[in-house]
Chains A and B, each alone.
Chain A
Amino acid sequence: MTNLAVDLPGLKLKNPIMPASGCFGFGREYSEFYDLSKLGAVIMKAATGSERFGNNTPRVAETASGMLNAIGLQNPGVEKIIETEVPYLANYDIPIIANVAGSTIEEYELVAKTFNQTDQVHALELNISCPNVKEGGIQFGTDPDMAANVTKKVKKVSDLPIYVKLSPNVSDIVAMAKAVEAAGADGLTMINTLSGMQIHLPNKHPLLANKTGGLSGPAIKPVAIRMIYEVKQHVSIPVIGMGGISNAEDVLEFLLAGASAVAVGTANFQNPFICPEIIEELPAVLKKYGFNSVQDAIGKGIVV
């Protein structure tokens, strides 16, 4: 029997698969396709201090082996999320990770503090890497000192374990990871989307109303693998890996690179059943490559 369980700060995962923030809403839509209790965990859509409408449409564009999105952190605000969405997800037997976004340190603190008041959230994902909002936190995600500062401040106001979501739009990902680890982060989630653009030939202008968007999907998987591989050689906190995962082989690749668990994003759009299907396929894939458990495979790909 292959053991899929993984223990991470604040998160007892029965398997290492969870839907990524922003690709799964607050779970309601996908609960019509399958029992969400099958998941390892769930990461909710980003929460900000108050309600946000987001960007104009078009907000998505397909690219080669991926897509661009510029939703713009649309959400009903942290209080509404705690009131209506968290209790819904709490009906399922899964740890809930809340994605915390903001445009100022004070907003991050406010959102984190508010989530701290409910006992139904198990961990926070600190979103310092949304590329689609001018004030969406990306400024915190590209400067190690600012990233460390916001991590420290949020850590002070919340008892929950904090996973900092790193942006790939930096030249030195290791410096970012080390800075937030030193500031008290309990884990990392990586990678967020890569900043990109598509020009629409018929009107000769950027297709997305926001002009730029975040690139996700299989196209970015090698970038994610490389960054996790590099980061894991320099930090000891666990990594939840993400970026273009669409099957169980991809999951094993992330585990080998050093991720302890993974999040599946864009692939949910093509196949709403992708998460439970990967969970079902994972034992056979682990076995095929000689592993008896998820734990066995973590970091085994790192060549020193």
Chain B
Amino acid sequence: MIKKEEMLIKSVKSIALDTIEMVLNNRYISRAAVPGQFLHVDIQGHTLRRPISIADVDKSEETVTILFKIMGSGTKHLSAYQTGMTFSVLGPSGNGFNIDNREAKSVLLIGGGIGVPPLYYLGKRLAEEGREIISVLGFQSAESVFYEQKFQELGESFIVTNDGSYGDKGFVTNVLGKVKDFDCYYSCGPSPMLKAITERLEHKHGYISLEERMGCGVGACFACVIPTDTSGGYKKICKDGPVFSSREVTL
């Protein structure tokens, strides 16, 4: 259930180019959040909240970790927030990843850029249940890479950069050939990447998490819809998603 909660900043850290990691304290959110959900963050002086995905949860410390990229005025302002400050969120928002698929003994995580964070908490939870984790993570360049070590601790990981300055050169789809067989995939990243992946892995069972500019973040304003077919069907990304089965929506 979505609540309006105050988050206390425990730490703020720049972990890659224009990429900020924030650890936030809040009992309700840390207890209720599941992988793939997001927080709708209120940034002072900004009319609209910003949807930011949950990258990790520590239930014993009652903390939630978010990662965001400085893209515009809102994220820039948020990046200047200091430890000890609080801000309001609506959360945990949306429907997370389906992790109950017991058939999936081995899973492939495919993340692109700022789509990588929600896959970390997902991978951690799946690894705890004994699933085999393989990760393919794409970034723009070496200086944008983050969480490589953390994903390696979960299982075999491949890093790809667009300019080839670190890991393989190209896109995440370029290294899918190197990956051994898996039962199910989970992906989050820019729409063109998700489109390429869902086409390439058409025969596989998969889940994708989508990003879109949002208004209310609770399903009332119809700003973040995605078609499900060509005859007017649609889903709301904020409320029905952000996670969908790979065959559920039309990218």
Contacts and interface: CB of A to CB of B under 8 A. Distances in A.
B234 A62 contact: no
Interface residues of B, number: 29
Interface in B43-81: 46-49, 74
The interface size bin for chain A is: 35 or more
A127 interface: no
A269 B224 contact: no
Interface stretch (B105-113, B119-127, B130-138, B210-218): B210-218
B213 A58 contact: yes
A53 B222 CA distance: 10
A60 B215 contact: yes
B239 A65 contact: no
B48 A67 contact: yes
A54 interface: yes
Interface in A25-51: 25, 28-30, 32-33, 45, 51
A144 interface: no
A65 B48 CA distance: 9
A139 to B, nearest CB: 23
Chain B at the A interface: mostly helix, strand, loop or mixed? loop
Nearest to B212: A57
Contacts of B222: 25, 45, 54, 59, 71, 74
A54 B221 contact: no
A51 B234 CA distance: 12
26 contacts: A29-B219, A30-B220, A32-B2, A33-B4, A53-B232, A54-B225, A57-B224, A58-B212, A59-B213, A59-B223, A60-B214, A60-B221, A60-B223, A62-B46, A62-B48, A63-B47, A69-B223, A71-B221, A71-B222, A74-B225, A268-B216, A269-B47, A269-B216, A270-B48, A270-B49, A272-B90
